[in-house]
Amino acid sequence: MRVGVLALQGDFALHATALAKCGVEAVEVRKPSELDDVEGLIIPGGESTTLLKLMDAWNFTSAIETFHGAGKPIFGTCAGLIILAREVESPKQFSLGLIDVSVERNAYGRQRESFEASGVASLDAGPIPLEMVFIRAPRIRRVGPSVQVLAEHRGEPVMARQGRVLVATFHPELTDNTTVHRYFCDLVGRAWVAA
């Protein structure tokens, strides 16, 4: 089983390291054709405006929609969440709409307001402690009825899932805790077996 990490820009190398810790082979994806060889995809943290421009130059939009349509799981952190969301605010911008949430960009403020917090993920196996690093992070302002909230910070959703799309406003890849990546790898593994 191989999991792709969109490597156009951002902290893709840290996601690859986290996948390796989970015993999963990571593949850097810079062109849409490289999606054919992977069973899941991570869209990393980075700058969403830059990522969208680089995606656009290579027609990644339709390729990722096809990937999702084929039932393959996708995980987005921070900028990755912004790209996967149904709606994006401040400013309004294009997004893939693969998970029914609305997000506000840079919603806690600039880097001076970035912070760390501890939290709890409610996963299949029960509650698991999380280390959460929020960097110029977005906030999830609306959650659709078919979206499951997996973790909260101060009563707001910070990690959520709809079917085979998983998102987080924080960066599990910046910590040594592989809980979230293991959860995603399980999703990918189950989807792969089902296919």
User: Footprint of other proteins on this chain (CB under 8 A)?
Assistant: 7-14, 30, 45-47, 49-50, 53-54, 57, 78-79, 90-91, 105-106, 109-116, 133-136, 171, 174-175
Q: What is the nearest approach in angstroms of other proteins to the Cβ of residue 30? A: 6
Please say if 34 is a catalytic residue.
no
Residue 15 annotated to the active site: no
Task: Specify whether 153 is catalytic.
Answer: no
Percent helix, strand and coil across the chain, each rounded to 5? 35, 35, 30
CB of 104 vs other proteins, minimal distance in Å: 11
Q: Which helix (H) or strand (E) holds 76?
A: strand 74-77
Q: Which is nearer to other proteins, 81 or 187 (CB)?
A: 81
- Give the residue with the Cβ less far from other proteins, 9 or 122: 9
Place of tokens 């339709």: 62
Which one of 15, 78, 153, 185 is the catalytic residue? 78
Structural Rg of the chain based on CA atoms = 15
In our burial notation (b when 16+ CB lie closer than 10 A, e otherwise), range 1-23 reads: eebbbbbbbbbbebbbebbeeee
Please give the positions annotated as active site.
Answer: 78, 171, 173
